[in-house]
Structure 1
Amino acid sequence: MEPVAAFPWIALFTILMCGPAVWLALKSKASRWITLCVTFYTAMACVAALYLVPWSFYSYYLLAILLVIAAGGLIVGGIKSRSADWRRPGKLGLFAAIVLTLSGAYFAAMNVRALSAAQPPEGTINMQFPLEAGRYAVTQGGAAPPLQNPNGHAGNPSQLYAYDIVALNSGLHSQTQYLDWSELEFREMWDRVVLAPCSGTAIWVRDGLEDSPTSDDERPAGNVVGIECDGIIVNLAHLRNGSVLVSEGDQIEAGQPIGRIGSSGRTIDPHLHIHAERGPFKGDFSDNEAVPISFDGAFAFRNRIMTSSQPAE
């Protein structure tokens, strides 16, 4: 998502999260029916925004600010409605109440699905977090949609439980220079050290593909290291050209540096893609059985912030 498209997107979600609550706070008097509808809708929309909006792009601090505004609007509106009655709202108010209730119900259904998708599936295998010390955000991850993109990971049999991970800076967002999209090194994730998440044998190593802000659909993994450990294959993709430190057949120890983050393969933004699969090696277009993995005992999901204290050497 480039800045040109990003600002209208966050403006829309700001309105969806805070608009009705701010309107309620500014209104001189609202019936209790309207207050309940706004409260239900705002609560469900704010919960949905926690995992729907790519906060690593905008900053998690912005998320906190918007949540405070929404909560403040509901508190002020609720105080004002204490003196209101349960009178039936007019036609416009009734229409607004119906729209808010149906929208809130839609978000509520999504939230139930998201809660289920945030639970570790049966057979989840624990591994070491695969990046050097720092603070990171999961941009794709979970057991199912809506935490996983149905047109991305969830549409590939071997990547049902895959993760995409980016680094966060002190502003809790992933851009070093937010308005300049042309240079890959302006992403906080660029050139971060990738560590082996488990011990095993390198069975797939590819290097030499150029880093680019455009997608390579013919070799979607880009520069990649695949490690066979404990009967599964763990693939770490989108590594930087020339950074891979291992060769096929090497014995690898958990925590060992294997390369650095780049932007090779099917990606327009530097990030680490990691997934595990069970079956014979099939490379870029595998349809093996997906294997759920967790990191240091934590099952990750979209927008979860994770901290690594692992040294890069």
Structure 2
Amino acid sequence: MLTLTFLGTSSGVPTRRRNMSALALQTGPGPSWVLVDCGEATQHQLLRVKLSVRDLEAILITHAHGDHCYGLPGMLASAAMHGRTTPLLLVAPQVVLDWVEATRRCGDLYLPYPLETLALEDAPAMVLERPGLCIDRHALLHRVPSVAYRLTVTRRHAHLDGDALRQAGLPRGPLWRQLQDGKDVQWQGRTLRSAEVLRHHVEQVRAVIAGDNADPGLLAEACADAQLLVHEATYTRPVLDKVGPERLHSCAEQVAAFAEHIGLPNLILTHFSPRYDHGDGMEQLRREAVLQYSGQLHLARDFEQYRLSAEGVLEALGSVRR
């Protein structure tokens, strides 16, 4: 029901293996997708996956730091160069919207599509709502205002009660199709009503995608009925204690302990300090997390893709880099 493609998993600066923060979300079955954060060179990352800027529905920025938004002008320009004409929603702090507008003016950036903007400071709790998808925001703790976005993905299915139809003596055929389409039909002098033979089933999953945050506990309400949390783990506990609280980031231990406490089934850590971008460094983060968390844990890598099923099962699909 929900597919996640990590386009950037580093914090602060890129490394040879990790770009700046960006996460693509697909709720299917169509090509439409949503981007959470847009670090520098996100448009370059898109060249290596099967995602098109023409199908991008919305860009949601978690906060105003550059490693989460410096890729915006290039992304918007690429969409224009690829012939996009449909509206694009940009949700971001007002300072980011002001910066994008100044860049448009100073750089003579022409967008042949409507750019619909929504400032987080003035936005309602629900920032995007359409059939099958609702996205709301939740405040976090960071050096600048930061938010998490919670996605609720819903699919509604309707199927015919075959036993009831067979008892009525209605053979399979065009009349079954009409009932499936919501139309009443006549059969042997009686009316078979679609509403009486259709059985409805609703599937729903929730995932929380957090921006930079020093207090995972702030997400207790947002994660109460979620199956997945994607959260930064910029440091290990010893490094976080060394750099001090003024950085206002989380360590792997904090996030894992929170996820365990609320019984969250799936946790993906991301936004790693470049100091860990080697085998032993990533293993330090993993070891710290598994000591606290017994659920399904993943440490994201650029171009890795995951799928969250209707049953809340998270499947790692591997790298989708082309």
TM-score, normalised with respect to structure 2: 0.25
Between Structure 1 and Structure 2, the one with more strand by share is 2
TM-score, normalised with respect to structure 1: 0.25
